[in-house]
Amino acid sequence: MQLKDSVIIITGGGQGLGRSMAEFLAARGARLALVDLDQQRLDEAAAACKAAGGDARSYVCNVANEEQVGDMVNQVASDFGAINGLINNAGILRDGLLLKSKDGQIQKLSLSQWQSVIDVNLTGVFLCTRDVGAKMIELGNQGLIINISSISRAGNIGQSNYSAAKAGVAALTVVWARELARFGIRVAGIAPGFIETEMTASMKPEALEKMTAGIPLKRMGKPDEIAHSAAYLFENEFYTGRVLELDGGLRL
């Protein structure tokens, strides 16, 4: 699949890895539909994509809201006339131990802390894939859906909610690749390890050093390295149903 003129929806496209992937794909001539919660961030990201050489439009939409996702997909189809790809990238962290003991009292991970992450990182991926997939079939468009999982899918301490969602997303990549192949839609995953983002940039140098010491390559990944993998997945038409691990060799 060639990136030039392909219409690709990127959720969480307003900042971080989503924005990096958007700019990278825009530089290769893709037409981006950027989805996020905040209009101003989206506008800045869309302007950066245009400056990089691609077309881009922005859509305010909560991926965990069924009605908003349906409306967004209809609007993208009407604005661009086609949909060739989706990157399920929007995600949140609400870390916490399942149980902890403080001053003789047991504190439990709250249901809202659990549910908020499942809603965005798992249900959001389901809703976007279902509705984008349906629209692609309706329009007769073929293409690729990429799910952003995480190295945490293997089970990371303090991340019951996040690990469960990211493991779910990895499993769904296999399920949907098998189900959607008959429509000419491939489904792939990327499981990043620690990547240089604003969050890691704000960490204390000692904490950063400790974290990178455990990575065989002794450094974090760069957002462009994730974007490069996304471009590869679009272009390699034999890739489906697998999750690409991009973690510098780290195992949690």
Ligand X SMILES: CC(C)c1ccc(C(=O)O)c(O)c1O
Ligand Y SMILES: NC(=O)C1=CN([C@@H]2O[C@H](COP(=O)(O)OP(=O)(O)OC[C@H]3O[C@@H](n4cnc5c(N)ncnc54)[C@H](O)[C@@H]3O)[C@@H](O)[C@H]2O)C=CC1
Give the residue numbers marked as catalytic.
162
* 3 DSSP β-pair partners: none
Q: Cβ 100 to ligand X, closest distance in Å?
A: 19
Site string for ligand X, 50-89 (x = CB under 6 A): ----------------------------------------
- Strand-pairing partners, residue 96, are 159
In the bound state, the residue with its beta carbon closest to ligand X is 150
42 binds, among ligand X, ligand Y, none (CB under 5 to 8 A by kind): none
The one segment of 65-73, 97-105, 123-131, 147-155 that binds ligand X by CB under 6 A: 147-155
User: What are the residues whose beta carbons fall under 8 Å from the beta carbon of 13, sequence distance 6 or more?
Assistant: 19, 21, 22, 32, 34, 35, 36, 42, 45, 58, 87, 89
Supply φ then ψ for residue 61, to 5 degrees: -165, 135
Residue range at the interface with ligand Y (CB under 6 A); choices 49-57, 102-110, 191-199, 202-210:
191-199
Helix 160-180 with 111-118: angle, nearest 10 deg: 30
Interface with ligand X in residues 183-202 (CB under 6 A): 193-194, 197, 199
Stretch that binds ligand Y, among 47-55, 62-70, 178-186, 209-217 (CB under 6 A): 62-70
89 Cβ contact list (under 8 Å, min separation 6): 10, 11, 12, 13, 17, 18, 21, 146, 148
Q: Rg of the chain's alpha carbons, rounded to an integer? A: 18
Q: Is 91 in the site for ligand Y (CB under 6 A)?
A: yes
Q: Is 93 in the site for ligand X (CB under 6 A)?
A: yes
- Backbone φ and ψ for 46, nearest 5 degrees, come out as -65, -40
131: contact with ligand Y by CB under 6 A: no
150 contributes a contact to ligand X by CB under 6 A: yes
CB of 121 to ligand X, least distance (A): 9
With binding defined as CB under 6 A, does residue 14 bind ligand Y?
Answer: yes
d(CA 40, CA 43): 5
Please say which residue, 71 or 196, places its beta carbon nearer to ligand X: 196
Helix (H) or strand (E) holding 247: none
Query: Which one of residues 65, 75, 156, 212 is an interface residue with ligand X (CB under 6 A)?
Result: 156
- Rounded Cα distance between 8 and 33, Å, is 6
* 195: helix, strand or coil: strand
Whether 10 and 89 have beta carbons less than 8 Å apart is answered as yes
Residues that bind ligand X (CB under 6 A): 91, 93, 150-152, 156, 193-194, 197, 199
Residues that bind ligand Y (CB under 6 A): 11-12, 14-18, 35-37, 62-64, 89-92, 120, 124, 148, 150, 192, 194-195, 197
